[in-house]
Amino acid sequence: MSAKLVLGTEIREQILEEITKEVAEIKEKHGVVPGLVTILVGENPASISYVTLKIQTAHRVGFKEVQDSQSVDISEKDLLALIDKYNNDDSINGILVQLPLPKHINEKKVLNAIDPDKDVDGFHPVNVGRLMIGGSEVKFPPCTPAGIQELIVRSGVETKGAEVVVVGRSNIVGKPIANMMLQKGPGANSTVTIVHTGTKDMASHCKRADILIVAAGVPDLVKPEWIKPGACVIDVGVNRVGEKVSEKTGKKIAILKGDVNFDAAKEIAGYITPVPGGVGPMTITMLMKNTLKSLKYKLGII
């Protein structure tokens, strides 16, 4: 194997330690800790497990954590009132609404009701606009793209002047990471291309990439011959391609695959993220970082 593995599982630990230390310092100096509320509507098992992981991580770094579970038949009006309550709660710095919401609730309306200064997911149009403007305007970069940027920077990969090719143009990964990598500043300043299903010759673009970020949701979409030797390959894709029995627990678990043929690509790339264990662990980590930032903005120490 030639490529260096870029492990979100390891980089997550570094960042969570940094956050824990900073939370303790702020508590000592200002007498407050970041407050994060997770609002869960209904009992979707996948949503419960995501929320549980977020709660555990928030506890670990020393946040005040509020879990607000609501019945699946809560009305949109009542959910909006709940958001308003947390918008006005001084002890809460981050509001998180676990998606998906039941069909009778307009998700967009609910997410847009979150105070942009507590929108630690970074999906509110105000924060999308701030991200586009860049520089000191950016408050909460969306968590998965922010995690991708951390993986690249902390691996020591040069971004200034690098050819970055992003596969996929979704609002949660492709567009924001492309926007972040082209900003003038550290960890970015790259020349960015986005490819998608309308692109004529995807291979020719990927072959130019010093940093190839793939977020399409198509297993093995990127062929090994599309990878420039020595490139940094960030595979965001998480595709369930089957099931297996876990050796640890004896329970059935999903077999996950990325969008890149890992076994072949690792022989060509200089850096590569595995799936799982690459980008995945970074998303919740960056959610913690955004929540800490929210408190720091409030205290005027950032």
Binding residues for ligand NAP, rule: CB under 6 A, are 144, 167-170, 172-174, 196-198, 202, 215-218, 221, 236-239, 279-280, 283
Q: To the nearest whole angstrom, how small is the minimum distance from the Cβ of residue 187 to ligand NAP?
A: 19
Neighbours of 100 (CB within 10 A): 12
Q: To the nearest whole angstrom, how small is the minimum distance from the Cβ of residue 201 to ligand NAP?
A: 11
Catalytic residue numbers, as ranges: 54, 98, 121
HSE (CB half, 13 Å, CA atoms) of 132? 9
Report cis status (omega within 30 of 0) of the bond before 276.
yes
Q: Which is nearer to ligand NAP, 200 or 244 (CB)?
A: 200
Q: Which is nearer to ligand NAP, 16 or 33 (CB)?
A: 16
Report the alpha-carbon angle 63-66-72, nearest 5.
Answer: 145
Q: Which is nearer to ligand NAP, 74 or 215 (CB)?
A: 215
Render 159-222 in DSSP notation, one character per residue: -TT-EEEEE---TTTHHHHHHHHHSSSTT---EEEEE-TT-S-HHHHHHT-SEEEE-S--TT-B
Q: Which is nearest to 115 in space by CA: 90, 149, 148, 147?
A: 90
Q: Which two tokens stand for residue 97?
A: 């609404």
Q: Which is nearer to ligand NAP, 8 or 62 (CB)?
A: 8
Q: Give the helix/strand (H/E) hosting 257.
A: strand 252-257
Distance CA 102, CA 278 (A): 31
Distance CA 131, CA 137 (A): 7
Paired with 222 in beta bridges are: 260
Neighbours of 45 (CB within 10 A): 7
Q: Which is nearer to ligand NAP, 231 or 236 (CB)?
A: 236
Q: To the nearest whole angstrom, how small is the minimum distance from the Cβ of residue 300 to ligand NAP?
A: 32
Q: To the nearest whole angstrom, how small is the minimum distance from the Cβ of residue 167 to ligand NAP?
A: 6
Distance CA 137, CA 70 (A): 34
Q: To the nearest whole angstrom, how small is the minimum distance from the Cβ of residue 223 to ligand NAP?
A: 12
Q: To the nearest whole angstrom, how small is the minimum distance from the Cβ of residue 199 to ligand NAP?
A: 6
Q: Which is nearer to ligand NAP, 44 or 170 (CB)?
A: 170
Q: What size, in residues, is the chain?
A: 302
